[in-house]
Amino acid sequence: MISEAGLSIHDTTMPHPAARRNRVFSPSMARGLPAVLVPLALYALYLAYNLEYFYVRGAAVYDAGWFAWLSVHATSWPMPNPPLIGGDFLGTHVFPILFLTSAIARILPAMPYAVRFCLWFSLWLPLLWWSIYLLLGGAVRLAPTRQISLALLLTLNGLALSMLGFPHIESFIPPLLVLALVGLTQPGARSRAAGLLAFLFALSMREDAGMHGALAMTAMALVLGLRVASSRRLLVISGLGIAYGILAILAQHLLVRAGGNQLQGTYLGNPLFSQVTPGMLTHRLAYWATARSYIFLPLALMAFMALRWRDPGLALGIIIAVPWLALSLIAASPLAGGLWGYYCFPLVLPFLWPLILVSLAVPEPAARQHLLTLQVRMGLVSLACFVILGLLPGIGHGGSYDRAPWSHLMPPNVARIGNTEAALRHIEAAPSFRHMIVDDGVAALSLGRIVPGQFTLGLKQPGLTVATATAFLRFDTPMPYDAVAEGRLARRFPACRKLPGTELELCRRG
């Protein structure tokens, strides 16, 4: 069946995974120049995309600008938010990684916080490719070019593509959990240490990362058998991940005023479950079946094959997705309930479950071939659904914030970034700045200086009334979600001039 997917296995009599797992982290797998160039190319393209997002199109304050600012300014406990937002970030999420990035920022050369954020955030996509590449190396012996190509196909699945257009730190969690699974199931001390380090980094990305990892690790322990040493290790790490999540949520409630309410506000509703009605559930399921087909068609294919093959190990890939799907189904937030962008990150591991089984648990050559073929088909289905429903004009949004991502892969030059930052700093220094209204893109780059009243989400109701504001500072290329509001404000401030060397436009009254 592998040949049906365009693959060729050079050695179908490979030993049991337990006897070959040490090769998964072997440096010999990375010796080929293409295996190095592909992740570098992915990083360069995604870095260019993110820089263009901040400095050409205008980034969203929530959450790209917010995270970018915190990634440099998280220098005290419990991580104060910028003045525009107020309060402490710990009350929203527990992201210890931001303390690390801020500490690193203090010892590196000065640069704008948005640039620094793009430099490290853009690593998650090549990290996902590398984790899949390692899984393939532990699964079957493919020709190097096919292994690289297949890793690229599975990396560019619809779930990952939907996360690209909306920068969010949680995107790191899936590849880190895959690396943790790989390392922790191997006999070598170095591999186990690498797996544990990957798991700790995943925990630093959000308070519930350990709970998502615990589902996959417990499922893998069941597949391997509870008498196996690596299974017991996985169960211990799973328990630690769950304990960390509980302690982090308790810390939010105890240490931060009104903290730890994200679960109720975003998912459970206030009052509890008040948003759950038969009509809402029906609408959401219909939306999932169409706009989120890049998630659910591959999972449905895996469920069908698990039933057809009567494979309980494969069925576990569906079971570990159920808790997040159930929570998302009843979510009070339309974005969370719609699995927009990064909200689908816990489903990446279920999507990759056939490949994880092939790499870590399945010894029989025929079973490996069937599972790998299934994974390839899931990847093709996911990519096709995302492209058709997310990018083709006139069909539907399908989870894509950016309908033409290929047009945003050239980075802004250094001069444009410098001109934009210099223009903003010059305007911010003037006394008249406090009387200006700004849009998302400007606020995202000026979070340390913008104050409440100058900006509100979507520009629907600026705190400074249009009657008293003296000017409107905006990006000339507004994002689609605030283009209408920006256009309305621009008509009130028709005397616009483009700031040289930037996409900024300063609009005053006529």
Residue-wise pLDDT for 273-331, tens only, equals 999 999 999 999 999 998 899 999 999 999 999 999 999 999 999 999 999 999 999 99
Dump pLDDT digits (tens) for 329-353: 999 999 999 999 899 999 999 999 9
CA dihedral sign of residues 364, 367, 371, 377: positive
Q: Which two tokens mark 289?
A: 């079946």
Burial readout 483-509 (b: 16 or more C-beta within 10 A, e: otherwise): eebbeebbeebeeeeebeebbbbbbee
The residue ranking higher by pLDDT, 31 or 485, is 485
417 and 112 in contact (C-beta within 8 Å)? yes
CB 168 within 8 A of CB 71: no
Residues 204 and 261 in one domain: yes
Partners of 471 in the β-ladder:
436, 508
219 falls within a domain:
yes
Q: How many residues does the chain have?
A: 510
Alpha helices in 157-256 (DSSP H): 158-164, 173-184, 189-205, 209-224, 229-255
Residues 317 and 381: their CA atoms lie apart, in Å, by 17
Query: Is 80 exceeded by the pLDDT of residue 9?
Result: no
Task: Say whether the peptide bond before residue 63 is cis (omega within 30 degrees of 0).
Answer: yes
Residues 390, 341: contact at Cβ < 8 Å?
no
Q: Are 163 and 351 in contact (CB under 8 A)?
A: no
pLDDT of residue 509: 86
pLDDT confidence band for 12 (50 / 70 / 90): very low
Residue that wins the pLDDT comparison between 99 and 459: 99
Residue 45 confidence class, pLDDT cut points 50, 70, 90: very high
Q: Is residue 353 part of a domain?
A: yes
pTM beyond 0.85: yes
Does 495 have pLDDT greater than 60?
Answer: yes
Q: What is the mean pLDDT of residues 107-128?
A: 96
What is the arrangement of strands in the sheet containing 471-475, beginning at the earlier edge strand?
436-438, 471-475, 504-508, 495-498
Same domain, 262 and 333: yes
- For residue 210, is it within any domain? yes
Domain's final residue, options 371, 390, 409: 390
47-50 contacts, C-beta under 8 A, 24 or more apart: 47/118, 47/119, 47/122, 47/411, 48/408, 48/409, 48/410, 48/411, 49/122, 49/164, 49/405, 49/408, 49/409, 50/118, 50/121, 50/122, 50/167
Residue 127 lies in a domain: yes
Residue of higher predicted confidence among 262 and 245: 245
Q: 217 with 350, same domain?
A: yes
With a cut of 60, say whether residue 31 has pLDDT above it: no
> DSSP code of 263?
I
pLDDT for the residue 461: 59
Specify whether 181 is located in the same domain as 271: yes
In this structure, how many other beta carbons lie within 10 angstroms of the beta carbon of residue 476? 18
CA distance 388 to 375: 20
Band the pLDDT of 44: cuts 50, 70, 90: very high
Poorest-pLDDT segment among 84-98, 370-384, 470-484: 470-484
Establish if 266 belongs to a structural domain.
yes
Rounded alpha-carbon distances, angstroms, from residue 262 to 167, 256, 269, 276, 476 = 19, 13, 10, 18, 34
Of 365, 390, 415, the last residue of a domain is: 390
Across 69-93, average pLDDT: 92
Instruction: Over range 157-172, report the average pLDDT.
Output: 93
* Helical (H) or strand (E) element with 498: strand 495-498
Spell out a b/e string for 45-58, using b for 16 or more CB atoms within 10 Å of the CB, else e: bbbbbbbbbbbbbb
Question: What is residue 78's predicted lDDT score, i.e. its pLDDT?
Answer: 87
Share of the chain above pLDDT 70, in %: 89
Q: Are residues 212 and 256 in the same domain?
A: yes
Residue-range definition of the domain harbouring residue 458:
424-508
Residue type, 361: A
Lowest mean pLDDT among 232-246, 445-459, 493-507: 445-459
Q: How far are the Cα atoms of 145, 217, 245, 404, 470 from residue 210, in angstroms, in the given order?
A: 34, 10, 6, 35, 49
326 and 179, same structural domain? Answer: yes
Mean pLDDT within 417-425: 97
Same domain for 502 and 374, yes or no, is no
Question: Looking at the predicted structure, is the pLDDT value of residue 103 above 80?
Answer: yes
pLDDT of residue 2: 37
Task: Kindly tell me if the per-residue pLDDT of 390 is higher than 80.
Answer: no
Domain presence at residue 232: yes
Residue 136 region by backbone torsions, left for phi larger than 0, else alpha for psi between -120 and 50, else beta:
alpha
Confidence band, pLDDT 50/70/90 cuts, at residue 193: very high
Mean predicted lDDT score pLDDT of the chain: 88
Reduced to 3 states, what is the DSSP secondary structure of residue 148?
A: helix
* Helices and strands counted in the chain (H then E): 24, 4
Q: How far apart are CA 129 and CA 152, in angstroms?
A: 6
- pLDDT for the residue numbered 6: 39
Q: Where does the pLDDT of residue 359 fall: very low under 50, low under 70, confident under 90, or very high at 90 and above?
A: very high
- CA torsion sign, 145 to 149 to 154 to 160? positive
Domain count, the chain: 2
**The token pair that represents 122 in the structure block:** 């853009």
Whether residue 438 sits in one domain with residue 382: no
Q: Domain for residue 369, yes or no? A: yes
pLDDT for position 73: 96
Over residues 192-221, mean pLDDT:
97
**Is the peptide bond preceding residue 78 cis, with omega within 30 degrees of 0?**
yes
Please measure the distance between the N-terminal and C-terminal CA atoms of the chain and give it in whole angstroms: 69
For residue 355, tell me if it sits in a domain: yes
More confident position, 47 or 165: 47
Q: Is the pLDDT of residue 463 over 70?
A: no
For the ranges 11-15, 144-148, 259-263, 501-505, which has the lowest average pLDDT? 11-15
pLDDT, greater one: 130 or 20: 130
> Are 154 and 199 within one domain?
yes
Last residue of a domain, one of 373, 390, 407: 390
Q: What pLDDT is attached to residue 22?
A: 45
- 267 and 168 housed in the same domain: yes
